[in-house]
Amino acid sequence: MSEPAVASDKLKTTPLHALHVELGAKMVPFAGYDMPVQYPDGVLAEHLHTRGAAGLFDVSHMGQAFLTGPDHETTARAVEALTPGDIRDLAPGAIRYTLLLNDKGGIRDDLMVTRTLTDGVLFLVVNAACTDADFAHIAANLPSGVALERLEDRALIALQGPKAAEVFARFASEAATQSFMTARDLSVAGVPCMVSRSGYTGEDGYEISIPAKDAAALTKKLLAEPEAKPIGLGARDSLRLEAGLCLYGHDIDETTTPIEAALGWAIGKRRRAEANFPGAKIILGQISNGAPRKRVGLLPEDKAPAREGTEIFAGSNRIGIVTSGGYGPSVGGPIAMGYVDTGAAKPGTAVELLVRGKGRAARVAAMPFVEKRFYRGN
Amino acid sequence: MSDIRFTDQHEWVRVDGDIATIGITDYAQEQLGDVVYVELPEIGKTIEAGDEAAVVESVKAASEVYTPVSGEVIDVNSDIEATPAGVNEDAMGDGWFVKLRMSDPAEFEKLMDENAYKEFVEGLH
């Protein structure tokens, strides 16, 4: 029983830091920020509350920026030079999940790109730990006339779960019928916010970008609703794992390609034809000829969780490694994801997970581990 | 009155004759959070003080439980295998992990008593 001692001196804080402390959160360092890992209810209850009602997450540590050019075509091309996503064909108000790639087709980061309603302006949200590197990389590769503006005076919260829409409509009625993967500028209880219908839990919900000065007051209003509770990073991780979603730096990184990561769907059809994104030759080669390994879901057959770093075997052959693993509270048992040799990637394939020196039976499983419940209109 | 001792790794040992019952402290279960899995040793196994006796896992992470005394495993708590949350509910009582027949009772005497452990935990804050 031991936990590493950590100095929390030089950590950054989000605009909601005081609120977390007031709510009794256990604070931990994460990506350079002092963040709530859980509140007094604990990870298990927070996870289940999000799947049953509405969970509110502080994700202000993530990097937000506007990318502004003279028109959509120009700004979108600047993003397309660094990603395989179809950004030019995004409709106004639409959001796309895409990937910043390196020249070998490895993933520098995954990010959300929103075409705002202002012509030529894209809104980017990137991972906290990658923010500085991403924005430096983007800024260094922009054509003249396109500029990146980091938004450091904004908070970002997520409201997720089957009751999220009902709760949020009390503060911004227009949000109720907003389509999945679209964003709108809305007045939320009088505060001008950018509201995206998206998330990282597999549930319906919103991500809400709020001016920092209004963030704590608005968050308190949302939390005063009986269905809403604050949720920490612990449950955020178990929720996204059950939803089969990648955590950057664990399930994807500079050494994994989108094809290996089973993110081929994020490569636009037009982009494949144009073959002009970083690492296109390698990635298109893997689309044609297959990749050597693939990201898959794994379901242990006994109750022992298989954590990140667990080796995966088929007989005596080491065929892969777990990149995220733990206990899925809604699944009610251990779940994991990891990379295996492509020959063993088919759902149902029997494998062994080497946990504490002992091989334990598991099967490759389709993801998500829980049903996705995104808003698809009434 | 049962005699109880503690380790700086937040295990407790309660002794009755030459039988030691081992568990994790209330402080430990609180630090761990919701326990979702427990792995216990085989009955009959001999373990030395400092060896891994069991594994306890929360949603977040796995931790080892080390035995503070040497001996032979004579019983394990199958209730917490079936219902791991029992560790959170009663870490110092029904949430025990392992019973050992001690081979060197002197090891027990070297451990922290209740007051020393209390001071130790207060020093962690």
Say how far apart CA B70 and CA B103 lie, in whole Å. Answer: 6
- Our CA-based measurement puts residue B82 at a distance from the nearest CA of chain A, in whole angstroms, of 10
Say how far apart CA A337 and CA A350 lie, in whole Å. Answer: 14
pLDDT of residue A301 exceeding 50, the answer is yes
Rg (alpha carbons) of chain B, rounded to whole number: 13
Interface test with A, best of B36, B58, B63 (most A CBs within 10 A): B36
> What is the average pLDDT value for chain B, to the nearest integer?
95
**Superfamily grouping for domain A292-365:** Aminomethyltransferase beta-barrel domains (2.40.30.110)
For A133-151, what is the mean pLDDT? 98
What CATH number should be reported for the domain whose range is A7-289? 3.30.1360.120
Give pLDDT tens digits for A321-341: 999 999 999 999 999 999 999
Sheet holding A121-126, edge to edge: A95-101, A107-115, A121-126, A63-68, A147-150
For A238, nearest residue in chain B (alpha carbons): B59
The beta-strand segments (E) located in A131-239 are 147-150, 154-160, 183-188, 191-196, 205-211, 228-230
Model pTM? 0.94
Residue A375 has a pLDDT of 87
Say how far apart CA A310 and CA B59 lie, in whole Å. Answer: 16
* Option in B24, B34, B37 nearest A1 (CB): B24
**Of residues A298, A339, A306, A336, the one with CA closest to residue A321:** A339
Q: Do the first three CATH levels of A7-289 and A292-365 match, i.e. the same topology?
A: no
Longest dimension (CA), chain A: 62
Taking contacts as CB-CB distances below 8 angstroms, the residues of chain A near B66 are: 1
- ipTM for the predicted complex comes to 0.89
> A169 falls in which pLDDT band (50, 70, 90)?
very high
What residues does each domain of chain A span?
Answer: 7-289, 292-365
Q: Which long-range contacts (CB under 8 A, 24 or more apart) does B109-117 make?
A: B109/B5, B111/B5, B111/B6, B111/B7, B111/B13, B111/B68, B112/B5, B112/B6, B112/B7, B112/B8, B113/B4, B113/B5, B113/B6, B114/B4, B114/B6, B116/B6, B117/B6, B117/B25
Count Cβ atoms below 10 Å from residue B22 Cβ, excluding itself.
Answer: 25
Say how far apart CA A15 and CA A1 lie, in whole Å. Answer: 34
Among A34-43, A99-108, A207-216, A369-378, the least confident range: A369-378
Buried/exposed A131-143: b ≥16 CB within 10 Å, e otherwise: beebbeebeeebe
- φ, ψ of residue B37 to 5 degrees: the values are -160, 140
> A9 falls in which pLDDT band (50, 70, 90)?
low
* Option in A1, A303, A334 nearest B11 (CB): A1
Beta carbons of B34 and A305 less than 8 Å apart: no
pLDDT of residue A2 exceeding 60, the answer is no
* Option in A2, A235, A303 nearest B37 (CB): A303
What residues does each domain of chain B span?
Answer: 3-116
Beta carbons of A326 and B59 less than 8 Å apart: yes
For B38, nearest residue in chain A (alpha carbons): A304
Q: Which of residues 61-120 of B touch A (CB under 8 A)?
A: 61-66
> A360 falls in which pLDDT band (50, 70, 90)?
very high
Cβ atoms of B112 and B120 within 8 Å: the answer is: yes
Taking contacts as CB-CB distances below 8 angstroms, the residues of chain A near B36 are: 44, 305, 327, 329
Fold of B3-116: OB fold (Dihydrolipoamide Acetyltransferase, E2P) (2.40.50)
Beta carbons of B64 and A1 less than 8 Å apart: yes
> What is the average pLDDT value for chain A, to the nearest integer?
96
The alpha carbon of A21 is separated from its chain's Cα centroid by a whole number of angstroms, namely 25
